[in-house]
Amino acid sequence: MAEKREAKKRNPLWYLGALGAFLLTQAKLIIPLLKLGKVGGAVISMFVTIGAYALIAPWSFAIGLVIMILIHEMGHVFAAKYKKLPVTAPVFIPFLGALITLKRNPRDAATEAFVAFGGPLLGTIGAAAAYLLGQGLNSELLIYMSYLGFYLNLINLLPIHPLDGGRISTAVTRWLWLVGLVGGLVIIIYLKSIIFFIIWATFAWDLYQKFVKFRKREKIMVSTTRFDFSAEHLLAQGYFIPGENHRRELSYTTYSELSGSEEGAQTIEIAWEGIGFHQRIEVPAQILIKKIEVVRVEQVQKETGLHLGIHVQIEYTPYVNDAYFDVPIATRWKFGMAYLALALFLFFMIRQVHMLPLLR
């Protein structure tokens, strides 16, 4: 009996240290995981996250929470693969959850919503399975795991970016984002969570930038890049070499690549015909160009002769593709009804778990 009481009093740090010592002695198990690359990183981050949660809560809570997060994230992975979008393995971040990264952005809001919906849908199925098993086996641990799953997925359905609900809202109606602003404040007051406040504040600022500040005045952005240009042929032709403060507008053409891994990228070809200067600039996103000009010319003497350092400045505005949000009415209704049904089911199940004698 004394040994049992001593074990119960042991700090979670003791168990974490024991786990770390065990893993260090099992190098043969760890090295293959590291060689697995993406999957190995996901597994290691999962164990690290379990250890982090175990510092402040029982091991059963830590393991249950991470399992429910894993099921949720795998829902996103399966949904992305169904839509043939390349996706990374889940990466766990202690006290923040986990995330996946799409290697190519969805082409429309409906696809974005489909991938977002996959997480809470599979997560809810996993939580329901734990609930049924817990009822059948009379297991308080499984019931508590189901509660974590239901709660986690319900929170993720809040219509706030970057939560899943905020992404699903893009295929239903963006007016739900206003609901997220109000609902987010209520959740912050209830949970008193600094992390959730940061998420909500970032979302609120992003909405302000997009729909208030940006609509009041056009947002002009500036980007400058430098090109090295050999000028020996200009000297041979007796061409006047531009001075350091030389400025001039450049002609340009643009085109976009709409397929492959660089979907949405834009290419800009610029030219200064008088000196034979032609260059290509790759832009990772669509932009609307206002002006491209030379703002400075450096003269640099190298072993190969005279070179010009040509500083090129691009003035542009971000391109907002409103067609991205063009979702058929029937699709909006389907996502809307599924979204509402899942949220109500999760709320109902949380109430059911609260009523169980096991957790009273």
Q: Who has greater pLDDT, 321 or 342? A: 342
**Of 212 and 130, which is predicted with more confidence?**
130
Other beta carbons less than 10 A from residue 231's beta carbon: 21
Q: Is the pLDDT of residue 29 over 50?
A: no
| Residue 262's pLDDT band (cuts 50, 70, 90) | very low
26: its two tokens:
């099992």
Question: Among 9-18, 74-83, 86-95, 192-201, which stretch is predicted with the lowest mean pLDDT?
Answer: 9-18
Say which range, 41-45, 129-133, 158-162, has the weakest mean pLDDT. 41-45
Q: What does the pLDDT look like over 168-216, one tens digit per residue?
A: 998 998 889 888 888 888 888 887 878 888 888 888 888 887 766 555 5
Q: What predicted TM-score, i.e. pTM, was given to this entire model?
A: 0.65
User: What would the pLDDT profile of 312-335 be if each residue is shown by its tens digit?
Assistant: 999 988 776 667 788 899 999 999
Using the Cα atoms of residue 6, residue 9, residue 12 and residue 17 in order, give the sign of their dihedral: negative
**Distance of CA 209 to CAs 33, 111, 202, 206, 346, Å?**
43, 25, 11, 5, 33
Whether the pLDDT of residue 159 is over 70: the answer is yes
- Give the other-Cβ count within 10 Å of 248's Cβ: 11
Give tens-digit pLDDT for 97-110: 788 888 777 888 89
- The stretch 230-250 carries a mean pLDDT of 87
* pLDDT confidence of residue 191: 78
pLDDT of residue 30: 44
Q: Assign 28 a pLDDT band (cuts: 50, 70, 90).
A: very low
pLDDT at position 358 is 61
CA distance 69 to 80: 17
- Rounded Cα gap, residues 25 and 10, in angstroms: 22
pLDDT at 238 over 50: yes
| Residue from 251, 213, 194, 228 nearest 298 by CA | 228
pLDDT attached to residue 35: 46
Asked if residue 7 has pLDDT above 90, the reply is no
Q: Please give the single-letter amino acid code of residue 147.
A: Y
Per-residue pLDDT tens over the stretch 267-283:
899 999 888 899 998 88
- Residue 286 has a pLDDT of 76
Residue 312: phi and psi, rounded to 5, are -110, 130
